[in-house]
Structure formats: C-alpha cells, structure tokens
Amino acid sequence: MKSLVSVMALAAASLSVPAYAQSAAPAAAPATPQDWIKQTEKAYFDETVRAGRVSWIYETNITDDTEALVAASNAQSNTFSVNVAKQAAEYAKASGLSAEDKRKLVMMRTQITSPVPTTPGGAEEFATLQARIQGLYGKGQGTLKGQPMGGSDIEAEMGTNRNPDELKEMWTSWHDNVGKPMKADYVRMVELSNAGAQELGFADTGALWRSNYDMDPDAFAALTEKIWTEVKPLYQQLHCYTRSKLNAKYGDAVQAKTGPIRADLLGNMWAQEWGNIYDVVAPAGAGDVGFDTGELLVAKGYDPVKMVKAGEGFYTSLGLATLPESFWKRSQITKPRDREVICHASAWDLDNKDDLRIKMCTKVNGDDFVTIHHELGHNYYQRAYNGQPSRYYMEGANDGFHEAIGDTMALSITPQYLVQIGLLDPAKVPSADKDTGLLLRQAMDKVAFLPFGLLIDRWRWGVFSGKIKPADYESSWNEMRKQYQGIVPPVERSADGFDPGAKYHIPAVVPYTRYFLARVLQFQFFEAACKQAGWKGPLHRCSFYGNKKVGEKLNAMMAMGASKPWPDALQAFTGSREMSGGAMIRYFAPLTKWLATQNKGADCGW
C-alpha cells in the first residue's frame, strides 16, 4: 500500500499545469503563424505524454484518488485543446499560409473529441462527470443466478451460455446497473460539450466530429450511408438466416420466426458481433470446420503472454521490428487480482516514441487471440508514424485506418496461418466443402457488426443536435437498434433507462464511426495485401503471413500518419482513393449466394 501511495504522490507532483495550457495564448505572442504553430506542436506533444500517463494510471487502477487525478488531467487537456483550437481559427485567417500550415491549423481545430466551454469551471465539471461515469462502467457489475459478476466475465459467459433465462438476466442486470445511473451526468456532459463545440464555430459536437475526415461533414455522413447501402443486403440475408436458426433452437416463445431478434441471444452483450453462437447457426455438413481456435490455443499450452507473442510474430514476419522490452514489462496483459481496472482492450503509446503498451484482461480463447492481433496493429501504426515532424500528424490517416490495420491482420487468421505458426495440424485444414462454414463464421462477426458500428454515432449525432431529447434517449436508442440491426431488448425498457451507457464508448466519449469504417477498410486492405502477396486461391483463405513485400508497403502507408489526406494513404496501399464496401462484398460473394438459397421464401424483413 505504501508503494502505491508513493506512486500516486509522485504522479501528482509531476503533473503541475503548465502556464501555456491555462491561458488562451502564450505569454509572449509569436511573431508569425508559423512560429505559433511550431510552439503549439511542441506543447501538444508534451501535453499528450502527460495526459496519457495519468490515463494509464487511472485505467489500470480505479480508485477515488485516481478518478480525481484523471478528472483534473482531462480538464487540463480539454482546456488546452479548446484554447489551441480557438487560436488556430484566428491564425487561419492570415495571408500567405502554405498548404502545410493550413492543414495543421485545420487539425488543431478538429482533433478534439470533448470540446468544453471556456466559461469558468466548464472543463473541470466535464472532466469530473466523465471520470465518474467511466468509473461506473469500469466497476460495473451484472448478475448471473443472482450472484454479482463483472463486465468482462459477463461478456465471456454470454458467449457460451445458451440458457435464455440466464442470458436475459445477465443482459438486463448489466444494462440496468451500469447504464441507468449515469444518465443525468451524460445529459449534462452533452450540454457542456455542445457549448464548447459552438464556441469553436461548429453547430454541435457531432458536426465537430464529422469535420475530422478531410471532407465536408455532411458529405462524410452521406459517404457512410452510401457504404451502408452497399453492404446492407448482405446483412439482411445474414439476419434472416440467423433468426431462423435461433427460432429452431429456442422456439417461438423465445425467438419468433419473423421480426427482430432478441438481443441477448446473439452471444454478445451488445449483439454487435455474433460469432460466439456459430454453433447454433452452423450449416449442416459444412458447419464443422474441424477446429476451434480457442481449443487449439489451450491444447498447445498457450497462456495470455504467449498469445501476445504470437500476435507480435505476425507483424515481425512481415519484416517489422519486435516490440520494445518495455512493452512486456509495462503492459497490462491479464486482469490484476488486487484492484479494479478498465478491461476494455486498448493500445497505448505513452511517450510518442516507443513506450508502447496494451491494456487487456486476456483470456485464452479465440476472441482474445483476434483482439491481440487488432491491438498490436495500433502499436505498430503508432511506431510507424512516430518519425513525423508534428504530433498532429502522429495519428491514423483517419481514425478508421487505425482500427482497420489490426483487423486486416486478424482477417489473416486463416487455417493456413494457424498451420504456419504450428497451432493447426496440416491434416486438419478444412477442405473446400467447408468454405461456407468458414465464411459464415467470419460473417457472424464482420458483417453482423456493420449496422451497430453505424448506429452508435448516428444516435449521438441526434443527441448532440438536439433532435433526440433526454426524455427520449432510451426509446430512440431502441428504435434505432431495431431500425438498423433488427434487434430488440429481451425485456421492456423503462423510459428513464440509459442502455447506451452500458457500451464503453459512450461514457468514455470515443467516436464510433471509426469502427464502421474499419470494417470496410480492412477488406480493402486485405484484398490489396493478398494481391501483393500473389495469392491465387479464394480470398477468404488468404494469409500473407511472412510476406516482406506486404510489410514494406504497409509500413510505408502507416508511416504517413495523418500528414496527408486519407485518400492519399488509401491509394498508397490499395491503389484506390475511395472507401467502398466492394471488397467486403467480393470476399463474401459465395456466402451471399448460399444465404439467398437458405432464405428462399422467408420474410427477411423486421
């Protein structure tokens, strides 16, 4: 206990607020916009390092003290970002600015997730509220058979439990216990955030978020809708087939033959990915693909650290460098037994150089094996662009790129890859007649996620704009889930509930459209990588593990960071400047044909 107190005291002592972050302008005004940009870049670099260290302390040790510490830190960061954004708007009016200067000034205005008003106490109030509701989420519990159970344990249990009454209990208790208590605080956070966004010249926080994509905010919203229209028919076929299988298993009293699907039956707390119920939907004859990744990991004696080592091995096989020794010393790979932590997986770069880490509560199963490949994608992206001259360029080309890199690697967790790393016996590689099962298993995660990835921010955009009032938060959430996903809660929800808060990214104020974009981009990246590797077989069986050519080209794109508009980065790796659902449609084309046959004559609406 004494050592923990010492660490906290040391952290607090080192986190004094620099004068630059407290004022609306540096004490001595720079002579030129270029001087101001240079000074601000240095200050931003230092601020992200300071804030990152505080956030790490909080997320790996949730206490009243660390909550207070991170609240103060977030207030400082938010104030800093808002002050910089306001000054950037003024400097942007200057004449003689280069294209580079203009790009940086735009990024200084738009790279703000939580704008706060400059009125006295506004930043502090927002940060306190955010820390409190993140704490509610991190410490939140539901129940199973009346016994308390933490969020990560419920999430794992819902992946394997097939008792509809127990699934209903876990789903309901988590949403009631975690979401509902934070509603009032969230309403106030929206008010504060919108006030901050309006001070920066945006209509609301949603408009600010959409402005960060190198295009008009309305045009960006239209682009995401266009992509959804491309892939929606595939989702509808998957939904129709899955519903019929759930009806066959549970009967009409639990899941009807028509209409929406009950949310708790899909193997995931939020019904965002359905792969955990593959055993329920597996096609006769082709459903058993001959292996389960989780079982292979257990049989080969993998522990969480060995799983992370395997993930690192994928990246090094492409010619990328090993992770630094500090990664293995400082990462949280498993859940500590002696304290509360935020288990939601995340990747960190705490010094904008090479202090790379992941934070997970890893379990030895197939899901976490995929998650590890995903999170390490963030770390390798972070390291690739750390040579950029500006901290504002040390980001993904857009936030969807950052999410898509690791997912691209995870798509390469194919039977071929599992053979290459010694997990799967070559004699047990599924034959071609198992392709329907392989594709269906993949679609249950990748395709099923699409509408969920879209609706989170669609809902928040409505909240920020005022079209969705606080009294309607719960009803609008459920209406939107039904509209996009064809999903409904297992029980009636009260009007004063707040089910959105039971999803981490809502209390954490993390924009979510990035995940929708990532689902699309990863198939574009994967298709391009397989072509570069000279793969000749079915796309869904491709593995580019060990291909240095792919690694070289991938690293070149990642090294660009955000220094160029995202179409430039996309073109550098794929040859195309357009985000599209086309590669995903081509990947799943054989499955689409099969699903249409299975659903023939069925009412596939909801």
Distance separating alpha carbons of residues 335 and 506, to the nearest angstrom: 22
451 domain residue, yes or no? no
At 233, the amino acid letter reads: P
Residue 20's pLDDT is 37
Left, alpha or beta for 536 (phi > 0: left; psi -120 to 50: alpha)?
Answer: alpha
pLDDT band of residue 28 (cuts 50, 70, 90) is low
What's the whole-number mean pLDDT along residues 276-300? 90
Which of 78, 112, 146 corresponds to the end of one domain? 112
Distance separating alpha carbons of residues 306 and 345, to the nearest angstrom: 17
Distance separating alpha carbons of residues 143 and 211, to the nearest angstrom: 41
Which of 97, 112, 127 corresponds to the end of one domain? 112
Query: How do residues 166-203 score in pLDDT, each as one tens digit?
Result: 999 999 999 999 999 999 999 999 999 999 999 988 99
Considering the chain, what is the average pLDDT of its residues?
92
Distance separating alpha carbons of residues 241 and 600, to the nearest angstrom: 10
Distance separating alpha carbons of residues 384 and 354, to the nearest angstrom: 10
What's the whole-number mean pLDDT along residues 561-585? 96
Which of 112, 130, 158 corresponds to the end of one domain? 112
339 domain residue, yes or no? yes
What's the whole-number mean pLDDT along residues 283-302? 89
Q: Which residues are catalytic?
A: 344-345, 374-375, 378, 403, 505, 515
Could you identify the residue written with the tokens 């599924």?
A: 430
pLDDT band of residue 111 (cuts 50, 70, 90) is confident
495 domain residue, yes or no? no
pLDDT band of residue 432 (cuts 50, 70, 90) is confident
Residue 286's pLDDT is 72
Query: How do residues 375-387 score in pLDDT, each as one tens digit?
Result: 999 999 999 999 9
Mean pLDDT highest for which of 112-126, 274-288, 574-588? 574-588
580 domain residue, yes or no? no
Distances (CA, A) of 363 to 335, 540, 547, 569: 9, 26, 29, 35
pLDDT at residue 19 is higher than 80: no
Query: How do residues 320-347 score in pLDDT, each as one tens digit?
Result: 999 999 999 999 999 999 999 999 899 9
Distance separating alpha carbons of residues 82 and 197, to the nearest angstrom: 9
Residue 333's pLDDT is 98
What's the whole-number mean pLDDT along residues 131-142? 94
> Domain tally for the chain?
2
> Residue 63: which of 438, 340, 258 has the closest Cα?
340
* Cα-only R_g, the chain: 24
pLDDT at residue 17 is higher than 50: no
pLDDT band of residue 285 (cuts 50, 70, 90) is confident
Distance separating alpha carbons of residues 491 and 119, to the nearest angstrom: 42
Element (H or E) spanning 479, and its range?
Answer: helix 473-485
314 domain residue, yes or no? yes
Distance separating alpha carbons of residues 347 and 357, to the nearest angstrom: 6
Residue 390's pLDDT is 96
Left, alpha or beta for 602 (phi > 0: left; psi -120 to 50: alpha)?
Answer: beta
| Residues forming a β-bridge with 357 | 348
pLDDT at residue 18 is higher than 50: no
Asked if 333 and 362 count as a contact pair (C-beta separation under 8 A), the reply is: yes
pLDDT at residue 29 is higher than 70: no
Query: How do residues 349-377 score in pLDDT, each as one tens digit?
Result: 999 999 999 999 999 999 899 999 999 99
Residue 238's pLDDT is 98
Query: How do residues 48-59 score in pLDDT, each as one tens digit?
Result: 999 999 999 999
State the SS3 of 404-451: HHHHHHHHCCCHHHHHHCCCCCHHHCCCHHHHHHHHHHHHHHHHHHHH
48 domain residue, yes or no? yes
DSSP letter, residue 322: P
Asked if 208 and 202 count as a contact pair (C-beta separation under 8 A), the reply is: yes
pLDDT at residue 21 is higher than 70: no
Strands (E), 459-528: 487-488
pLDDT band of residue 26 (cuts 50, 70, 90) is very low
What's the whole-number mean pLDDT along residues 245-256? 98
* Domain of 560, in residue numbers: 295-435+523-568
